[in-house]
Amino acid sequence: MSDLQALQDQAVAAYESATTLDELDAAQQRFAGKRGELTAVQRTLGQLPEDRRREVGAAVNAVRARLTEVESQRRAELEAERDRVVLAAEAIDVTLPPRVPRRGTLHPVQETMEAMLDILVGLGYTVNEGPEVETDWFNFDALNTPPDHPARGLQDTIYVHPFDARDEPEPDRTTGLLLRSQTSPMQLRTMLSQQPPLYVAIPGRVFRADTMDATHLPMFHQIEGLAIDTDLSFADLKGSLVVAARALLGPDVELRFRPHFFPFTEPSAELDARFEGRWMELLGAGMVHPNVLTAGGLDPEQYRGFAWGMGVDRMAMLRHGINDLRLLVENDLRFLSSL
């Protein structure tokens, strides 16, 4: 029995003094392995008498249990030590640049337009789109624009030649075909193709014969709203535009309506919002003029409605702190990628 105790002491010492997992494996083989010393003792049990066999057998099992315990404890220590060293050697510099997949950006005007449309969709409006080349009737006549209105002139509106024609038409060079100067022609296309109640939002690109500068573009974007029903009033116009403006600019934005003039609405208004102490024009609006309803095939005694149009590009400027509208059409990737 004292041999067994000595064996145990020897083995524990060997286990505990192992400095690597290989040394521990070797010690384990030497004492507890298949050809180990403890196993050798175990093999002699059969030659012992019955009573000794039981006694020694129990003692061998106790030693084996003790050795297993010591070994696994030492193994855990050595494995932790090994991991520490090995993984430390595998350390990387996590402050190196990340591996970002190539990233593109969407145009701020398009994104602003979709964000504004989301608000109108939330108010129950459906989105309608229309052509960019329009006729005089849709862009002007049906919108109650007088025949000699300055907006019809070549100074303001870009006209389109009849197909395959290049000659200058006579006498005032307008041709009946033009690049729409506003999204309002779609009011008429909507009225002529759908029955009230109408609640539509009309986004689109519009054109003016303007010289480009920091605050004017010859091509810009508008969103037109049109609501036509049997019982709408100026109060509905105000309420709708106030909730839409708050959704766009924040619940605390200060707003004011003031009189304005558009040939296609009566009464007409502009809505201003206050930014950094200054009033900024947000949109033009009004009750749809009876002449416009009539042109759209609707009886103004039966239907009323309101309409508004607002610039998208300026809103994009506001969202992104852009101070020059030309950036929006220059397509400089340094600008676009910064968004």
Partner 1 sequence: MRVPLSWLRDFVDVDLSAEDLADLITVRITEVDAVVRPTAGIRDVVVARVESVARIEGSDKLSHVVATDGTDTLDVVCGASNFAAGDRVAWAKPGSVLPGGLEIGRRTMFGVTSNGMLASARELGVGDDHSGIWVLESDAPLGADVNEWLGLDDAVLVLEVTPDRGYALSLHGLARDLAAITGATLRVPDLGDATASAAPAYPGEDPVPVTISDPDRCRRFDARVIRDVSVGPSPAWLQRRLAAAGMRPVSNLVDATNAAMLETGNPIHAYDLRLLAGPVIDVRTARPGERLRTLDGVDRELVADDLVICDADGPVALAGVMGGEATEINDATRDVFLEVANFVPWTVLRTARRHGLPTEGSKRWERGVPPESAPVAAARCVELLQATAGGQLEGGADHYPTPPERPVIRLRHSRANDHLGLALTAEAQAALLQSIGCSVTAEDGASRVDPPAYRPDLVDEVDLYEEIVRLHGYERVPQRVPSSGQVGGRAPDHAARIAVRRALAGGGWTEVMPFPFIADADLEALQLPADDRRRRTIALVNPLSKEEAVLRTTLLPGLLRVVRHNVNRQVTDAAVFEIGHLFLQPTSDEPGAPAGPGEDVALPAEPLSLGFAACGAFDHPRHDRPARPVDVYDVLGAVELVRHAVGADALTVEATDEAPLHPGRGARLSLEGEAIGTVGELHPRVAETFGVPARTVVGEIRLEPLVRHGIRFRPAITPSPLPGARFDVAVIVEASVPAGAVEQAVRDAAGARVTSCRLFDVFSGAQIGEGNVSLAYALQLDDSARQLTDADVAEAIERIAGTVAERFGGRLRR
Residues within window 280-319 making contact with partner 1, judged by CB under 8 A: 287, 289-290, 304
Q: Coil, helix or strand for 77?
A: helix
Binding piece for partner 1, criterion CB under 8 A, among 36-44, 70-78, 84-92, 114-122:
114-122
Q: Which of 32, 70, 269, 282 binds partner 1 (CB under 8 A)?
A: 269
Q: How far is the CB of 86 from partner 1 (least distance, A)?
A: 23
Q: Kindly state whether residue 275 participates in binding partner 1, applying the rule CB under 8 A.
A: no
Considering only residues 52 through 111, tell me which ones interact with partner 1, judged by CB under 8 A.
96-97, 99, 101-107, 109-110
**Residue 284 · residue 222 · CB < 8 Å:** no
What is the token pair recorded at 107? Answer: 């145009």
What is the token pair recorded at 294? Answer: 């009539």
**Residue 132 · residue 204 · CB < 8 Å:** yes
Number of residues that bind partner 1 (CB under 8 A): 104
Q: How far is the CB of 287 from partner 1 (least distance, A)?
A: 6
Considering only residues 183 through 242, tell me which ones interact with partner 1, judged by CB under 8 A.
188-189, 197, 199, 201, 209, 218-219, 227, 229, 231-236, 238-240, 242
Q: Kindly state whether residue 162 participates in binding partner 1, applying the rule CB under 8 A.
A: yes
Q: Kindly state whether residue 276 participates in binding partner 1, applying the rule CB under 8 A.
A: no
Q: Kindly state whether residue 124 participates in binding partner 1, applying the rule CB under 8 A.
A: yes
| H or E stretch covering 262 | strand 255-262
**Residue 324 · residue 302 · CB < 8 Å:** no
Backbone φ and ψ of 217, nearest 5°: -125, 145
**Residue 226 · residue 307 · CB < 8 Å:** yes
C-alpha distances in Å from residue 111, one per residue of 117, 152, 186, 339: 10, 31, 22, 11
Binding piece for partner 1, criterion CB under 8 A, among 13-21, 25-33, 49-57, 172-180:
172-180
